[in-house]
Amino acid sequence: MALAKMSVPFLDLKQQHRAIWPEIQAALDPVLAQAQFILGPAVERFEAAFAAFIGTRFCVGLNNGTAALHMALHACDIGPGDEVITTPHTWVSTSWAVSYLGAKPVYVDIDPATYNLNPALVERAVTPRTRAILPVHLYGQACDMDALQAIARKHGLLLIEDAAQAHGARWRGRRLGSLGRIGCFSFYPGKNLGAFGEGGAVVTDDEPLAQRIRRLRDHAQQGRHQHVELGYNTRMEGIQGAVLEVKLRHLDAWNDARRRCAARYRELLSGVRGLTLPAPPADPSAHVWHLFVVLLEGAGRDRVQRQLAEQGVASGVHYPTPVPLQPAYAHLGHKPGDFPVAEDVMRRCLSLPMFAEMTEEQTAWTCKALRESLCAVE
């Protein structure tokens, strides 16, 4: 039977929110009635629930994911003269956090199968100035944490996880964010667990570290009007805590739905000429598919995206330019060719629609449109 043309958004937050609106409204009403807009009981409840979900002792709610990375590195005393090894293939916030503190981001190329940090190259990049490894669990899939933990132990380095795209993902049964000294999360609305605006958090088992970040987020206050160090205003809003506590109850089910969507993509796009699908994860239940990213073989990405849009299918690019080749990092002296795997992936990557509420019909239409688009640009 022929498929009827349809519109497929990149994600559909309106549909997600309609399905749980009574729960959201019930959670927001007390925050609004009591005017608990900054921190407060709703944030405290979410912090406790998220720490339990990740499997850590502590969670500190913050105002966005960039702040989570910044506060984590600051609390670990990363500063001028220090080097932090990280990935060129990610959103720029990972590097911003290093640079805000006067430290130097050191980039190594990615694994061609997972698009995450290549541990062999991490080992080679360690110098006497290296203080930390900052891996990004890209697209919802874990980095090789066994290898990274071993490198960190061998060289006495901090291991700080950027899990901003990996809410609920696992490595050998443990939730990401719980395997390093500290884990950092973003609750940007489009994440697997998204707020009603901006939000972020750090998780850790280290009580002094958690206490320091709680102070730092609130102008470094230790008691009212007593500021014990240079502080920040990175507090989570009460409304975001309330919304996130509700959504957290649905996260496992939403991630399961994303896995089913990814499986349908794999089935319908298997063997399509000119297309490389994501490598299947060793443990399908551990990947949370924040994004479903394919690589185009030779086809012009811009033309494919235009063809998809004409068929009603939204798409994205995550990400087009390696962070060290951005103008903001020109002072580091990197040039095209320094990160061949990342550069190749970033030239050819295309993100297809992926959200928990995506129907089988929407997935089928997306795959049909992609196949036709690839034929049209040959």
Return the pLDDT at 223: 87
Is pLDDT at 2 greater than 70 in this prediction?
no
Q: What is the pLDDT of residues 35-48, one digit of tens each?
A: 999 999 999 999 99
Domain boundary (248, 276, 307) is at 248
Same domain, 317 and 182: no
Strands 182-186 and 158-162 come out as parallel
71-80 average pLDDT score: 98
Whole domain around residue 322: which residue ranges? 251-376
Confidence category of residue 298, pLDDT binned at 50, 70, 90: confident
The enclosing domain of 283 has a CATH number of 3.90.1150.10
- Say if residue 174 is in the same domain as residue 264: no
- What pLDDT score does 299 carry? 65
Report which of 14, 23, 6 is spatially closest to residue 357, judged by C-alpha positions: 14
Closest CA to 68 of 152, 180, 220, 182: 182
In a domain, 8, yes or no: no
Percent of the residues in the chain that have a pLDDT greater than 90, as a whole number: 95
For residue 376, pLDDT beyond 70? no
Answer yes or no: do 238 and 168 share one domain. yes
Mean pLDDT of 216-240: 95
Residues 103 and 233 in one domain: yes
Closest CA to 209 of 5, 68, 93, 31: 68
Q: Is the pLDDT of residue 221 over 90?
A: yes
Backbone angles phi, psi at 297, to 5 degrees: -100, 95
Checking if the pLDDT of 174 tops 80, the result is yes
Is the pLDDT at 3 greater than 80? The verdict is no
Does 378 have pLDDT greater than 90? no
| Residue 377 scores a pLDDT above 60 | no
Q: What local confidence, expressed as pLDDT, does residue 47 receive?
A: 98
Domain assignment present for 221: yes
Q: Please, what is the average pLDDT of the chain?
A: 96
Residue 6: the pLDDT is 87
Count up the domains in the chain and report the number. Answer: 2
Q: What is the mean pLDDT of residues 274-282?
A: 93
Tokens of 330: 């020109």
State the pLDDT confidence band at 138, using cuts at 50, 70 and 90: very high
pLDDT digits (tens, 9 = 90+) for 281-296: 989 999 999 999 999 9
Residue 2 lies in a domain: no
Average pLDDT rounded to a whole number, residues 71-84:
98
Cα–Cα distance, 170 to 332 (Å, whole number): 34
The pLDDT of residue 115 is above 90: yes
In a domain, 1, yes or no: no
Per-residue pLDDT, averaged over 26-55, amounts to 97
Domain termination site, one of 248, 264, 287: 248
pLDDT in tens, 85-101: 999 999 999 999 999 99
| One domain for residues 303 and 179 | no
Report yes or no on 7 lying in a domain: no
**pLDDT at position 4 over 80:** no
| Percent above pLDDT 70 for the chain | 98
Q: Are residues 158 and 233 in the same domain?
A: yes
- Same domain, yes or no, for 244 and 262? no
User: Among 5, 18, 8, 35, which Cα is nearest to 242's?
Assistant: 35
3-state secondary structure the chain: CCCCCCCECCCCHHHHHHHHHHHHHHHHHHHHHHCCCECCHHHHHHHHHHHHHHCCCEEEEECCHHHHHHHHHHHCCCCCCCEEEECCCCCCHHHHHHHHCCCEEEECCECCCCCCECHHHHHHHCCCCEEEEECECHHHCCCCHHHHHHHHHHHCCEEEEECCCCCCCEECCEECCCCCCEEEEECCCCCCCCCCCCCEEEEECCHHHHHHHHHHHECCECCCCCECCCCCECECEHHHHHHHHHHHCCHHHHHHHHHHHHHHHHHHHCCCCCEECCCCCCCHHHCCCCCEEEEECCCCHHHHHHHHHHCCECCECCCCCCHHHCHHHHHHCCCCCCCHHHHHHHHHEEEECCCCCCCHHHHHHHHHHHHHHHHHCC
Does the pLDDT of residue 165 top 70, yes or no?
A: yes
CB 162 within 8 A of CB 169: no
- Asked whether the predicted pLDDT for residue 241 surpasses 60, the reply is yes
Pick from 50-54, 97-101, 220-224, 249-253: least confident = 220-224
Query: The domain that contains 126 carries what CATH number?
Result: 3.40.640.10
pLDDT score at 34:
94
Count of Cβ atoms closer than 10 Å to residue 26 Cβ: 11
Cβ neighbours around 230 below 10 Å, total: 9
318 shares its domain with 175: no
Task: Judge if 35 and 165 occupy the same domain.
Answer: yes
**Cβ neighbours of residue 252 under 8 Å, at least 6 residues apart?**
168
Calculated CA dihedral for residues 152, 153, 158, 163, nearest 10 degrees: 60
Examine the domain organization and report whether 227 and 342 are in the same domain.
no
Q: Which residues, listed in sequence order, are joined to residue 158 by a DSSP beta bridge?
A: 132
